[in-house]
Amino acid sequence: MKIRSLLSLFALSPLASAIPTSIESRALPLVQSNLLRRVLLRSNLLAKSKTLEGFAYATPERNRVFGSPGHNATVNYLYDQIAALGDYYDVELQPFVELYTDGTATLKVNGVDQEAGLFTYSPSGKFTQPLVSVSSSGCEAADYPSTLTGKIALISRGSCEFGLKSARAGAAGAVAAVIYDNVDGPAFAGTLGAAVRPEGPLIPTAGITLARGTALKNQLTGNATLTGDLNIVSIRENRTTYNVIAQTKGGDPNNVLVLTAHTDSVDEGPGINDNGSGTIGLLEVAIQLAKYSVNNAIRFVWVSAEEFGLLGSTFYVASLSDAEKAKIRLNLNFDMIASPNYKYGIYDGDGGAFGMAGAPGSGEAEKLFQDYFTNDAGLKWVPEEFSGRSDYAPFADAGIPAGGLFTGAEGIKTPEEQALFGGQAGVAYDVNYHQAGDNVNNLNMDAFIQNDKAIAHAVATYGRSFESLPPRTLTKMVKREQHGRKTGHRHLDRFLLVE
């Protein structure tokens, strides 16, 4: 079934209602971790990643942003690959409509180009006005001075949503906002999360690096007069896009493992690590799983429009009834699992490292991966902040246990991590993060295959039994006593609501 012939989709009942109510008996051997892992090959992961790259490079935009020809080809490819497995899976496309935005942003301050990035959902606007520095984080109305009316607000990233900062600045009378990063990194941009906010009008908003923003703030602190020339041209249009959902026909449909990965890229490039790696990692496991039977149903959900604020996963979870949510024993999410300067990050489901715990079962999922990397793969690992800033967030918000793996984005590898994983300390985990260079040459195949084997281990383990997980509850993510904070998963800061 292709996107170009989807009219019949709207007559389909939800996937869950099409699943047999009894456990289907299949003449296949019961899945085993070692056997499922053994058939995963680097060559297959690389070949399928090249296919995604080809979809992007076959278009003038050379990307796979949601609703684009490159992304639609990705969706068709996933559907066709699963459908080709015969009657092992029930597979469907789940359509939804979201607002797409694109455009350009330029900023000069006293004639010096600041290499600004555009925040999605930003309105258009062209202004030549003085810059005014905003105190604190810009999350509270009191942070904005009365002198801001008619001027451009300079705001630090951190502590709250980008959209809230833009709305607060607009409510204070600013004509535009410039948000600067709070970590070293390349050109900085993000999303305002939505086209409207209740706190105030969203205003034209651009992003600049920490170094540039700090330099401007220091000059303003020294009573310098800085004039910004800001020009934002924003395009907005509604686009129809699709989640791809495939569930095993065998296995208990009342006890389901849901695995998620987003299928879209940013505008800047083909997105082969972010998140072709998660997309293909799940696809290859799904293909190989079809050789085995399972006791519990396995559901693969490839979600769209993550880069615009977790839109596909949010839509998917919202489409489930409470009864269907209760059948999900665990969500495992895989976003960027082949970063070139990688770490093996395991989401901190019990909150022991970062103070934010998922629903009961999240800690047990974390332990499964810890034990696998330590005992089966013989590899080191580090905890990854379980902050809800990836596609597991809508599941966690619904009280569903969650976890997953992550190899790093624009964050900087520490010397301690270099000692554990090799690579280069002081360099980003993915130097091509959200850039044109995120192609197949950007993949670390060692990390890719090791993480894919870890995914297979989780699928085989939970496909056989959920005995290691506690009974399902509706507990949402909760804070634990903090035991020190490290730099966590910053990947979704560009498009999520937080920071």
Cite the active site residues: 306
Answer yes or no: are the C-beta atoms of 406 and 335 closer than 8 Å.
Answer: yes
CB-based contacts of 96, cutoff 8 Å, min separation 6: 240, 241, 242, 243, 304, 311, 312, 315
E-strand ranges in 304-381 read 328-334, 345-347, 356-357
Alpha carbons 257 and 303: distance in angstroms, whole number: 16
Q: Which residue has the tokens 């790696």?
A: 277
DSSP three-state, residue 499: coil
Alpha carbons 231 and 219: distance in angstroms, whole number: 22
Hey, which residues does 230 pair with through a beta bridge?
A: 107, 127
Alpha carbons 226 and 129: distance in angstroms, whole number: 9
Nearest to 153 by CA among 137, 168, 170, 133: 133
Helix axes 69-83, 278-289, angle to 10 degrees: 20
DSSP 415-478: HHHHHHH-S-TTSBS-TTTTSTT-SGGG--HHHHHHHHHHHHHHHHHHHH--TTSPPP-----E
Answer yes or no: are the C-beta atoms of 350 and 357 closer than 8 Å.
Answer: yes
Helix axes 42-57, 445-464, angle to 10 degrees: 110
Q: Amino acid identity of 5?
A: S
Nearest to 386 by CA among 352, 419, 360, 420: 352
Answer yes or no: are the C-beta atoms of 462 and 369 closer than 8 Å.
Answer: no
CA dihedral of 478, 373, 45, 85, whole degrees rounded to 10? -70
CB-based contacts of 81, cutoff 8 Å, min separation 6: 283, 287
Phi, psi (degrees; rounded to nearest 5) at 363: -65, -35
DSSP three-state, residue 21: coil
Determine the Cα angle at 490 with ends 486 and 491, to 5°. 145
DSSP three-state, residue 318: helix
Alpha carbons 483 and 485: distance in angstroms, whole number: 7
